[in-house]
Homo-oligomer: A and B are copies of this chain.
Amino acid sequence: MKTKLPIALSNKHVHLSQADIDVLFGEGYELTPIKDLSQPGQYACDEKVDLVGPKRTIKGVRVLGPARKESQVEVSLSDGFTLGTEVPIRESGKLDGTPGVKLVGPKGEVELEKGLIAAGRHIHMHTDDAKEFGVEDKQIVSIKTVGERALVFKNVLIRVSPSYALEMHVDVEEGNAAGVKNCDLVELIK
């Protein structure tokens, strides 16, 4: 069985619905891809928005594309402290009951009623990878890192799809807590 996979640190970012893109950047606006991400079809965009919380504003947060059904804002717990909002840890797309945040773009503002989350750590796997690792979609595993800040992440969610590429995603605080950098190899423990 395979056990090693690469890790990647996700910085704060925003996914937008087309309706919100229209308000923030102008009617019918299309996002400008500037860099492909490791997950097929996903890309960083030239566009940025400001997040306005009850306490403070975080300026210039990167938009990722393509447009999604619902807007979603992924930040760290420290970013939540900066904004003044307690941020729940959620799986991407599971936005019921999450707090909102105000987005400010060059052409308008959107007051999101929900969608502000810290993404729960997870592993993207292609269907073939899942077989090689002997795991399945929605399984919970642990991940071990090495080095000076070695640790074992528990409660790591496996997400399997034929459209995914093999990679563990953590936020910047989790990555720094483990002292890992993008593309470092980590070990899956069942």
Chain B residue with minimal CB distance to A79? Answer: B176
| From B151, B155, B176, contact of A153 by CB (8 A) | B151
Number of interface residues of A (CB under 8 A): 22
Determine whether the beta carbon of A89 is less than 8 Å from that of B152. Answer: no
Assembly of this chain: how many copies? 2
Q: Which of A156-177 contact B (CB under 8 A)?
A: 170, 172-174, 176-177
Determine whether the beta carbon of B76 is less than 8 Å from that of A176. Answer: yes
Determine whether the beta carbon of A151 is less than 8 Å from that of B154. Answer: yes
Binding site for B on A (CB under 8 A): 76-78, 89, 120-121, 148-155, 170, 172-174, 176-179
Closest 6 pairs between A and B when the two form their complex, measured CB to CB: A177-B177, A152-B152, A77-B176, A174-B177, A173-B173, A150-B154
